[in-house]
Amino acid sequence: MNIQAPIIKAMKHEIFFYEFEIKYYQWRLKEAQKEYESGFERLTQMNSYFVRETLEAIKVLSPEEESQILPILIRISERQLLEFIGDNITDEEKAILKRFDIAKNNNDLRKKLHEQEKIFKKYPKNKLKKIMINALS
């Protein structure tokens, strides 16, 4: 019985896994760039407190930082993969992330979003739609 066969099979599986992860990571970075270039079009359509909070915090950043924040967030979520490919988060990226976190944790921003949340929950979606149509007519 060949003892190395299971080890080789496991190594091939790990290599395939990381090849997929690398391609998926690269795709996510491209999609983040498209999202930025579209003015965060898809994100603004999402009805999520977390997404609204993120978008409001992004608005506080400089235009250059704004263009970098989504890729930084992706890179942070892929720390294990970055270690595997020998890539690291730079000090500049860490500084941008820190400014983003400070903006995101701002009490005024949280109050504003909670007030908006109350308004959205107060009316059912179909009633809000009717109100908006009447207001635009």
pLDDT of residue 2: 57
pLDDT number for residue 133: 81
CB atoms within 10 A of CB 103: 18
**pTM flag (> 0.75):** no
Sequential pLDDT tens for the chain (137 residues): 555 655 555 556 566 677 888 899 999 999 999 999 999 999 988 877 788 889 989 998 999 999 999 999 999 998 888 888 888 899 999 999 999 999 888 887 777 776 766 655 556 677 767 777 877 77
Whether 75 contacts 67, CB under 8 Å: no
What confidence score (pLDDT) does residue 120 get?
Answer: 59
Phi and psi at residue 122, in whole multiples of 5°?
-65, -35
DSSP state of 48: -
DSSP string for 83-128 = HHHT----HHHHHHHHHHHHHHT-HHHHHHHHHHHHHHHHS-HHHH
Q: What's the pLDDT at 5?
A: 56
pLDDT at 104: 87
Query: What does the pLDDT read at residue 8?
Result: 58
Q: Which residues neighbour 54 within 8 Å (Cβ) at sequence distance 6 or greater?
A: 43, 104
H-helix or E-strand spanning residue 64: helix 63-77
Give the pLDDT of residue 13.
55
